[in-house]
Amino acid sequence: MNCIKIDHVSYSIEHFAILNDIHLSVSSGDMLGIIGPNGAGKTTLLNLITGFIKPTKGKIYLNNKDICHMRKDEIARAVAVVPDNFETEFYLTVFDIVLMARYPHSVRNYITANEDYTLAEAAIEKVGITHLKNQHYKTLSSGEKQKVLLARAIAQDSQIIVLDEPTSNLDVKNQMEIMQMLQNMHTEGKTILAIMHDINLAVRFIQNFIFLKDGNIMYSGNIHQVFTKDVLGDLYDIPVEVFEDIHRGFLFMQAQKSE
């Protein structure tokens, strides 16, 4: 069953095309990496899927419903977002932020249900940050903040989780932990769309990719179809080499200096 269907969608700002005729179907339970150079339109695609902006042309369907006819809370119950970073002036605790993920389920209810508190607690425990529960979010490190945002997405309890460069500001240990948690969520049946900058990290955890460039889907397919010297060279406009770790079977890319 199609969980997300992007039907010939274009998006432009004042005649400047950001995305051109994007056509994509994501089935329930898929895990898809979205890769591309800066300015390719990756975050715009994310903003379209979450209903933050509307397509200039085409339609987006979530669970076969046109997103333009869905209420914002209905969209939030279907899609959770993990942004690359999020800062706030206010002294919100980790628990405050994770509990807000339950608001799409009950924003019109004056009372917050016991179930919401339980789910928020469980999400915090799941990402291993129970010790940070009552700490102020703004005082945490980048890695801890990213885990809070992941806990928030878990508490939101939506079928689709979209991540915008979830490991961009993290050290190697935190990168591996976050990606492992993503893989676990995928194993549990969630549909995952992850915008990734670190392609070498992405290929260790994700099997299927779309490559965006200049607002177009340039290539799509599984790791063996798209992770090639020619495709990656074309994507980034630089010469690259692709290597394989023969002991563990990992592919990795190395950019070459231009001659």
Per CB under 8 A, residues contacting other proteins are 50-52, 71-77, 80-81, 83, 86, 88-93, 96-97, 100-101, 103-104, 106-107, 110, 112, 139, 156
- CB of 100 vs other proteins, minimal distance in Å: 6
Contact 255, 240 (CB under 8 A): yes
Q: Which CB, 76 or 217, lies closer to other proteins?
A: 76
Pairing of strands 57-62, 65-66: antiparallel
* CA–CA separation, 14 and 183 (whole Å): 39
Q: Which CB, 90 or 248, lies closer to other proteins?
A: 90
Q: Which CB, 118 or 139, lies closer to other proteins?
A: 139
- Alpha-carbon separation of residue 248 from 165, 251, 252 (angstroms): 25, 9, 12
Cα dihedral angle (142, 129, 190, 118), rounded to 10 degrees?
Answer: -140
- CB of 73 vs other proteins, minimal distance in Å: 3
- CB of 198 vs other proteins, minimal distance in Å: 23
Contact 29, 191 (CB under 8 A): yes
- CB of 115 vs other proteins, minimal distance in Å: 15
- CB of 206 vs other proteins, minimal distance in Å: 22
Q: Which CB, 97 or 231, lies closer to other proteins?
A: 97
Pairing of strands 2-13, 16-27: antiparallel
Contact 146, 170 (CB under 8 A): yes
Residue 256 DSSP one-character state: P
Q: Which CB, 156 or 167, lies closer to other proteins?
A: 156
